[in-house]
């Protein structure tokens, strides 16, 4: 899989609604979902483009979510002091006996908000715009129809990754272009500059993942932390609130490869409803249920001393291939996952 760096800079206020509007006030997302800029790019290129089917219909290209300065969601297992945010962060995923109080001041532990950038958080710049409805017949203001919309401010840079299994197809997307994304284009909202460039392949960092625990030297474990909503179903086609080792094996193209790994009882997740809009048909898409970004899972298995080195190498290869995306509709940016996130290891114990 080839990876390409994607940068989207807002040139006018951008509004990407969380769900279909049901009132007079509309909130916006703090990032650019892969479905949004994928749809905008498809509309710009048009179905007559010679590579349209290969880019958007073949599953060869994955459009990842774009976030401010590479910020990522906090894991749902992360906790901070409710009174003193500067006290040491704590992650509960790898803690056998999770505390309920801050180790430094005994205050309540709460989940951090916003997005994570290194050890801190960064907020997007937003503001609220207002407008009135206009009558199609009189071209005057419709009485009692006043709306407010939260927007992302202009000149903010969102970054992410485009992944492609066909380098020749992806080459047609390289370079800069202007896109219109989100809602309110007729009011001057949604103009953005998209820039896609080559990206050096990442160096896998799976060292600690494969470390043995001192108290359980025969246990091999790894973590999976979702960075975008993930759509997975059970055998009855109902949305699941967790991922399994089989989901990871299927994403790697090797079903059954991780059947010996089990999901540890201690995992953190929540479900979210994803809405959408079919611009071509001018109709809303059906709501779907997905696992929220930040959901964190721990997988474990027992390995003998003589096979642990081979198993480490095999696991690293599988996780590298699965990092392209888990579950359904992964080409649209769903199912982005980070394996062996150092955050879980660094903050597993309170000071």
What's the domain count of the chain?
A: 2
50 found inside a domain: yes
Q: Clarify whether residues 182 and 289 are in a common domain.
A: no
Q: What is the CATH number of the domain that holds 216?
A: 2.60.40.4350
Express each pLDDT in 177-235 by its tens digit. Answer: 999 998 888 788 999 999 999 886 554 444 444 444 444 567 888 999 999 999 999 99
| CB neighbour class for 15 (10 Å; exposed up to 12, middle 13-18, buried from 19) | buried
49 found inside a domain: yes
Residue 217: the pLDDT is: 61
| CB neighbour class for 270 (10 Å; exposed up to 12, middle 13-18, buried from 19) | exposed
Q: Clarify whether residues 243 and 193 are in a common domain.
A: no
Q: Clarify whether residues 179 and 219 are in a common domain.
A: no
114 found inside a domain: no
Owning domain of residue 333 = 208-346
Its pTM stands at 0.85
Q: Clarify whether residues 192 and 317 are in a common domain.
A: no
- 311 Cβ contact list (under 8 Å, min separation 6): 220, 303
Q: How far apart are CA 243 and CA 226, in angstroms?
A: 10
Largest CA distance in the chain: 82
pLDDT bracket for residue 328 (50, 70, 90): very high
Q: Clarify whether residues 168 and 47 are in a common domain.
A: yes
Q: Clarify whether residues 176 and 213 are in a common domain.
A: no
> In 42-76, which positions are buried (b, 16+ CB within 10 angstroms) versus exposed (e)?
beebeeeeebeebbbeeebbbbbbbbbeebbbbbb
Q: Clarify whether residues 173 and 297 are in a common domain.
A: no
pLDDT bracket for residue 113 (50, 70, 90): confident
Express each pLDDT in 235-260 by its tens digit. Answer: 999 999 999 999 999 999 999 999 99
Q: How far apart are CA 28 and CA 47, in angstroms?
A: 29
Q: Give the CA distances from residue 274 to residues 19, 277, 330, in Å, rounded to whole numbers and listed in that order.
A: 7, 11, 14
Residue 24: the pLDDT is: 63
| DSSP per-residue string spanning 90-107 | EE-TT-SS--SB-TTT-P
Q: Clarify whether residues 66 and 164 are in a common domain.
A: yes
Q: How far apart are CA 219 and CA 206, in angstroms?
A: 16
| DSSP per-residue string spanning 291-346 | EPTT-EEEEEEE--GGGHHHHHHHHHHHHHHHTT--SBTGGGTTT-EEES-HHHHH
Q: Clarify whether residues 306 and 333 are in a common domain.
A: yes
Beta strands 277-278 and 78-81 are unpaired
Q: Clarify whether residues 160 and 282 are in a common domain.
A: no
Contact 171, 133 (CB under 8 A): no
Contact 272, 229 (CB under 8 A): yes
Q: What is the CATH number of the domain that holds 13?
A: 3.30.70
Contact 27, 149 (CB under 8 A): no
């Amino acid at each position: 899989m080839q990876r390409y760096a994607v940068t989207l800079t807002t040139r006018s206020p951008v509004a990407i609604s969380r769900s279909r509007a049901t009132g007079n006030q509309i909130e916006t997302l703090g990032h650019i979902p892969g479905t949004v800029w994928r749809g905008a790019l498809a509309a710009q290129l048009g179905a007559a483009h010679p590579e349209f089917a290969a880019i958007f219909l073949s599953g060869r290209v994955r459009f990842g979510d774009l976030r401010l300065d590479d910020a990522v969601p906090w894991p749902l297992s992360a906790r901070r002091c409710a009174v003193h945010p500067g006290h040491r962060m704590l992650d509960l995923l790898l803690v056998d006996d999770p505390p309920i109080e801050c180790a430094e001041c005994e205050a309540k532990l709460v989940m951090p908000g916003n997005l994570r950038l290194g050890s801190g958080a960064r907020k997007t710049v937003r503001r609220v715009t207002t407008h009135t409805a206009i009558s199609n017949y009189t071209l005057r203001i419709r009485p009692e129809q006043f709306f407010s919309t939260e927007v992302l401010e202009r000149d903010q840079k969102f970054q992410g990754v485009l992944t492609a299994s066909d380098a020749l197809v992806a080459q047609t997307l390289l370079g800069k272009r202007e896109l219109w994304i989100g809602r309110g284009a007729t009011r001057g909202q949604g103009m953005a500059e998209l820039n896609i460039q080559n990206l050096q392949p990442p160096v896998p960092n799976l060292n600690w993942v494969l470390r043995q625990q001192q108290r359980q030297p025969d246990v091999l474990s790894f973590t999976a932390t979702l960075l975008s909503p993930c759509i997975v179903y059970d055998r009855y086609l109902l949305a699941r609130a967790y991922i399994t080792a089989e989901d990871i094996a299927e994403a790697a193209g090797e079903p059954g490869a991780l059947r010996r790994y089990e999901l540890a009882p201690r995992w953190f997740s929540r479900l979210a409803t994803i809405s959408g809009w079919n611009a071509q048909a001018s109709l809303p898409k059906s709501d779907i249920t997905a696992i929220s970004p930040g959901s964190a899972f721990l997988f474990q298995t027992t390995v003998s001393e003589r096979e642990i080195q081979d198993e480490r190498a095999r696991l690293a290869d599988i996780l590298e291939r699965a990092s392209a995306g888990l579950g359904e509709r992964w080409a649209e940016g769903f199912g982005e996952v980070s394996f062996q996130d150092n955050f879980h290891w660094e903050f597993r114990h309170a000071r």
